[in-house]
Amino acid sequence: MATSTTIFILGILVIGIWIFIEIKRLKHKMLAIFLIGLILFTYISFTVTMRKQDLDLKTIPGMISAGKLYFVWLGGIFTNAKSITLYVAKHNWSEQKEITVTDPPEKTETENETIIEENEEETIEENTSQTELTEITETISKKDFIWNKL
């Protein structure tokens, strides 16, 4: 009994130490991923911002003006994000009207059959003569008879 408890406690300690080390490693990985993302964002945004500008980045005044232009652009992003956030925060979300979609009331089978029969009769009356009407009625009766037997 004492050995199984000792083994259980040692197992918990080993798993705890392993998790602690993995968390530290994960923190370092997350920091590395964040720095790589920050570097890529800076490079891509700088090149996009400077694409149509006629700046000489080989001279000190050109680099200073490019830096100023980039930080003005970056400040514009934060200003836009701030104004969007304020707009969303000031929006009264509680007064939004809920749109409920309701299904039309379902018709019973007898109502559906009546509608189908009425449509068939109207179509038949419009398109056929009296002799054809009797033939079609007999055919429908035979189909109904066969259908009822199934």
List pLDDT tens digits, range 72-125: 988 998 899 999 998 888 877 776 665 666 666 565 555 556 656 655 555 555
Question: Residue 84's pLDDT is what?
Answer: 92
pLDDT at 13: 85
Q: What value does the mean pLDDT take over residues 129-147? A: 58
Nearest to 133 by CA among 149, 117, 146, 121: 121
Asked if 57 and 63 count as a contact pair (C-beta separation under 8 A), the reply is yes
